[in-house]
Amino acid sequence: MRMLALYSIKGGVGKTASAVNLAAEAAAAGQRVLLWDLDPQAATTFYLRAKPKVRGGVARLVKGKAAYDKVIRATQVENLDLLPAALASRELDHLLAERHDNQLRRILKPIRDDYDLVILDCPPSLSTLSESVFASVDALLVPIVPTVLSLRTLEQLRDFLDERDIPCPVWPFITLADRRRTLHREIIDSLPERWPLRLSHTIPSASVVERMGLERAPLRSFAPRTAAAQAYHQLWEEVAQRLS
């Protein structure tokens, strides 16, 4: 079972849209995918038409006492299941901090044979939960808007991992790109030199991505021929190639 996290210290960078669309692309490619919504705002859970509630609470999940068939929800996307968020997810930091073995991979051990891929949609913070994510995943997929502030948070993430000697690969990729803007073009062109592990496919700024909130579905379900949907398809193929 491979694990990826959509993670950013900065909010508003297209993290949740990317998590949902990449999970849908992986499922369409034949992967058995579990998307775990770790963000208390529950946007991923909303997009996939589920209720933001973990049956029995997150404490039972962390302690290994949850019945997964009662907490994991099927979605309208074939091969894609959801572990929904809950406001109680705020407790995760405290609960994980109490345990010595705090990896999320351990929590999912009972269902590791049921899925080929787990994708985590993470809250925009540095915390015990985020450190547990870093220790569990095969790579962090970090969406960045081509702006100075977004690049700065990427560098802060790198410094955090280096200071704590956490060997977690970081694969940045550009979202909300507008090539009509000079600064966007300059940052996109400079990224390969500054971040050799960056993913090469860029997600454009597009109103159809905002429509996901109305359609409550990934792009491939209602707008598969749009530039944004095709960009996510290509991005997933690049990620899949790296994982293989």
Q: CA-based angle 106:29:53, to the nearest 5?
A: 45
Q: Flag whether pLDDT at 89 surpasses 70.
A: no
- Tell me what the pLDDT averaged over the chain comes to: 90
* Domains in the chain: ranges and CATH: 2-243 (3.40.50.300)
Mean pLDDT of 68-86: 89
pLDDT higher than 90, residue 91:
no
| For residues 104-132, average pLDDT | 91
3-state SS, 6-46, equals ECCCCCCCCHHHHHHHHHHHHHHCCCCEEEEECCCCCHHHH
Count the Cβ atoms, other than its own, within 10 Å of residue 91.
Answer: 16
Q: Is the pLDDT of residue 62 over 80?
A: no
Paired strand residues for 143:
173
pLDDT band at 56 (very low <50, low <70, confident <90, very high): low
Indicate left, alpha or beta for 190 from its phi (over 0: left) and psi (-120 to 50: alpha).
alpha
How far apart are alpha carbons 53 and 89 in whole angstroms?
Answer: 9
Q: What is the pLDDT of residues 30-54, one digit of tens each?
A: 999 999 999 888 899 999 998 766 5
